[in-house]
Amino acid sequence: MSEETRLYNEQVARINGRIVRLNVGGTRFYTHYGTLRVSPYFRTDLFKAETNEEIFIDRSGQLFTHILQYLRDGRINHTDRLEALRVEAIFYQLDDLVNKLDNMIKNPLSDSNKEYKLIDFTDLKDLSKLSSNGGSITKTICDTYDLITVVSYPYIAWNCSLHGSIAHCPPACGGSINSVWSSTPCEKLLVRKK
């Protein structure tokens, strides 16, 4: 490696590693310039200048938290303010983020915000009422839910030792004198609403 290349690489590493102090709408942020330079907005001379002074940006600090997270790892944290975040992404010239937000706005039922349920096998009868044309319960469930897995767990209850029912025994049975804790294996379906 030539001396010129080595010096250039050292300079880039020094610039990218420089801590930038931002005040976005009254909220302070500290990050490396290398994180910010993903955005063309932050590649301007104002941000390239080696200064230890805080740089004020008259934008939403709350939404900038999501922008900074995206610049760091490419993830979009769930927020109910997608439209407002999209406006901020346009301001910071993050075209890829704008495209991702457009997709999230157009298709709001992504996996991250679908409804999950645990359904007891005995509750499947109630689901058959979802079918308006009297179709099969299996088709109704398959049209409404994606099966994720079957969850097995112990159901612990205070049971009457004489007849095995959950402990609401009449006095003739001895009341709670004959009751014990017992464990019964249970299974439920973990499903995701389509």
The CATH code of the domain that includes 93 is: 3.30.710.10
Q: Are 11 and 98 members of one domain?
A: yes
Number of residues that make up the chain: 194
Indicate whether 96 and 177 sit together in one domain. no
Last residue of a domain, one of 111, 129, 144: 111
What's the pLDDT tens digit per position in 160-179?
Answer: 666 666 555 555 565 555 66
**102 and 159: one domain?**
no
d(CA 145, CA 191): 6
Burial class (CB in 10 A: 0-12, 13-18, 19+), 173: middle
Taking each helix axis from N to C end, the angle separating 82-91 and 61-73, rounded to the nearest 10 degrees, works out to: 70
Pair (90, 125) in one structural domain: no
The H or E element that residue 167 is part of is: none
**pTM (2 d.p.):** 0.51
Going by the DSSP 8-state scheme, the letter that residue 162 receives in this structure is: T
Which residue carries 């109910």 as its tokens? 80
Residues of the domain holding 16: 3-111
* Lowest mean pLDDT segment, chosen from 76-80, 103-107, 130-134, 151-155: 130-134
Q: What is the pLDDT of residues 62-104, one digit of tens each?
A: 999 999 999 988 888 767 788 999 999 999 999 999 998 998 8
What are the b/e assignments for 81-107, b being 16+ CB within 10 Å? Answer: ebeebbebbebbebeebbebbeebeee
Exposed / middle / buried, residue 28 (Cβ in 10 Å: 0-12, 13-18, 19+): exposed
| The total number of structural domains that make up the chain | 2
Domain end position, chosen among 78, 111, 144: 111
pLDDT of residue 143: 74
Shared domain for 98 and 122, answered yes or no, is no
Domain boundary among 67, 87, 111: 111
pLDDT digits (tens, 9 = 90+) for 115-125: 777 777 666 66
